[in-house]
């Protein structure tokens, strides 16, 4: 940690003491006039912005986009956006942008962050220039100190990235004389959309359950009269019901001047 801190201090001192030409700004980029080719350029540049600086500020993302476009116009690199972004991606090591060969694109993208990356990439292709980066062609995060850093000239620090330009004449504006190609290779790997989220809310799923009518069998109602208790059937161990005796109509009897009804 102490070594890294000293490295950052030395870098800031180097940036402050950089010569005047180190602050030269790039010319506005001119994208292909073919709508299909421009869309390919946009897709590749948006991928670089998204995977390299998704968590950065807008300026941090503009800086990454500017580096890609600076490379397109330098003869040391391919002359197309997709060619620059995917340079070396076919090798297990040596890819210029790590996300093209380390499996980062296997994960689904975050829709909001992807839209922001495309917006910044589109502005850069339309000619917007992020001047603080100047003619930088390389960068790395402030968390590392790569072996190639001492061979380049520090340009500036934006968000979590340190930017460098090429040394000597190859880092001046005259060296960026390569014309961008009108044809854009179909090199972009399609991005995967992430599963939609509920935004922290509980989403209740409603299922329609079909109603099934279940038939109910009605049993016949059996009536019985109150009479003598059932007697057990001889030798069967089971009780059987006897037929209730018929009841006679009630008789009226006069007793002590009172009418009394008696039944059977």
By CB atoms closer than 10 A (0-12, 13-18, 19+), residue 235 is exposed
Compute the C-alpha angle 31/152/17, nearest 5°.
105
Which residue is associated with the tokens 């670089």? 48
Helices 58-72, 35-53: axis angle to 10 degrees equals 130
- Whole-angstrom distance, CA of residue 22 vs CA of residue 259: 133
Does residue 67 or residue 241 have the better pLDDT?
67
Distances from the Cα of 85 to the Cα of 30, 36, 131, 156, 239, angstroms: 17, 18, 21, 21, 96
Least confident of 17-26, 121-130, 200-209, 254-263: 200-209
- CB within 8 A of 202, min separation 6: which ones? none
Whether residue 20 is predicted with pLDDT greater than 60 in this model: the reply is: no
At 208 the pLDDT is 40
Residue pair 239/231 in contact by the 8 Å Cβ criterion: yes
Q: Is the pTM of this model over 0.85?
A: no
- 3-state class (DSSP) for residue 56: coil
At 7 the pLDDT is 46
Residue pair 133/156 in contact by the 8 Å Cβ criterion: yes
Condensed to tens digits (0 to 9), the pLDDT of residues 60-84 reads 999 999 999 999 999 999 999 999 9
At 222 the pLDDT is 56
Token pair of 95 as six digits = 């890819």
């Amino acid at each position: 940690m102490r070594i890294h801190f000293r490295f950052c201090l030395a870098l800031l001192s180097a940036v402050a003491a950089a010569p005047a030409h180190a602050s030269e700004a790039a010319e506005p980029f001119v994208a292909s006039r073919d709508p299909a080719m421009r869309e390919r350029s946009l897709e590749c540049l948006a991928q670089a912005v998204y995977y390299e600086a998704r968590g950065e500020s807008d300026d941090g993302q503009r800086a990454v986009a500017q580096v890609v476009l600076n490379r397109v116009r330098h003869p040391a690199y391919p002359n197309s956006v997709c060619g620059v972004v995917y340079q070396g991606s076919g090798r297990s090591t040596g890819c210029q942008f790590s996300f093209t060969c380390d499996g980062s694109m296997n994960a689904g993208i975050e829709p909001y962050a992807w839209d922001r990356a495309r917006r910044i990439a589109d502005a850069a292709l339309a000619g917007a220039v992020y001047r603080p980066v100047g003619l930088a062609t390389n960068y790395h995060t402030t968390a590392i100190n790569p072996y190639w850093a001492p061979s380049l000239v520090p340009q500036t620090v934006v968000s979590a990235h340190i930017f460098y330009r090429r040394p000597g004449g190859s880092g001046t504006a005259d060296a960026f004389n390569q014309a961008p190609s009108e044809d854009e290779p179909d090199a972009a790997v399609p991005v995967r959309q992430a599963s939609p989220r509920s935004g922290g809310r509980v989403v209740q799923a409603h299922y329609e359950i079909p109603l099934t009518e279940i038939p109910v069998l009605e049993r016949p109602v059996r009536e019985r009269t109150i009479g003598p208790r059932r007697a057990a059937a001889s030798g069967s161990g089971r009780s059987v019901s006897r037929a209730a005796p018929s009841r006679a109509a009630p008789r009226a009897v006069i007793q002590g001047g009172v009418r009394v009804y008696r039944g059977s």
